[in-house]
Amino acid sequence: MFSFCSDPSQLDGFYWLSCYLTTGKHMGFYASFGTVLLLLAITAPTALAFGFFGASAARSNLAPLRWFGKGYISVVRGVPDIAFFLFFIIALDQGIEYLRHKVKCSDWDQPIRQGNDFIVCDAAKMPLGSAPQWIHESYGFTLAVLTFAIVFGAFAANVLFGAMRAVPRAQIETAEAYGMTRKQSFWRILVPQMWVYALPGLSNLWLVLIKATPLLFLLGIEDIVYWARELGGTKTSRFTDYPHGDWRVWYFLFLLVFYLAFTKVSEIFLELLMIRLTHGQATTGGEAQRKAA
């Protein structure tokens, strides 16, 4: 990046470090923080949507829909996250390619399953082998977002289901007595009030989601953990212009500080949000605000 970085072997001290920290690989490391933040920005509302529909289905009067909602909550919450991530990514990817293979390569006369190999025609590959690199990265990122959303959506559904049941039944009955339909009482009475009961559980879920982002490394995405291990490992002059020893402890220490700082900012925001939601509510927090006023 700097003009004096043309010959790293002649550098020392601050100049060596400034050139080392501005190499192309380090730019990828810095960009990976944006990947993590983008994952959280997309996954959090998507998982919340999965959770809301899962909780709504679990309390439905229709038995099949209720079974589906409760089954989704129980099954996904009962499977270890890592096992679900690794299984679902492979299963979804192969499922997409299988459907494309049936449509695009109907004249294929060989078995798709050949021992341990899953083989489809080139036209069914997802994405295509000739596709640009950003297409491959976007496809992998999309699968990761969907997997995170399904997993954390099940936990969110369990939290929201409990929050819906925590809203006093008398308020729903009062709404119905005033002539509101079940749908109106759900959207106007139940949903606005359930968030104050759901926020503590959703807050914990958000912090768990933050800590789960390093799982991107297991899904083949070049996230901050991948780059920390890649850049921190021992480098010799034979493989790099900036040889150094095993610096992984410093890179992972930087990640530790990043996650702690991000968690602290999240806690402050969530605390302010809780104060806003409890204002005027018949809860302990709302009563404390009324007494303070």
| Residue 195 in this model has a pLDDT that exceeds 50 | yes
CATH number for position 111: 1.10.3720.10
pLDDT band at 234 (very low <50, low <70, confident <90, very high): confident
Determine contact, residues 251/228, Cβ cutoff 8 Å: yes
Q: How much is the pLDDT for 202? A: 92
Task: Note the pLDDT tens digit of each residue in 14-53.
Answer: 777 888 788 878 888 888 898 889 989 999 999 999 999 9
Domains of the chain: total: 1
Average pLDDT over the chain reads 82
What range does the domain containing 85 cover? 3-292
Task: Note the pLDDT tens digit of each residue in 201-228.
Answer: 999 999 999 988 888 877 777 788 888 8
Determine contact, residues 274/199, Cβ cutoff 8 Å: yes
CA dihedral 78, 81, 83, 84 (to 10 degrees): 80
Q: How much is the pLDDT for 110? A: 77
Q: How far apart are CA 199 and CA 63, in angstroms?
A: 28
SS3 letters across 126-152: CCCCCCCHHHHHHHHHHHHHHHHHHHH
Tally of helices (H runs) and strands (E runs) in the chain: 11, 2
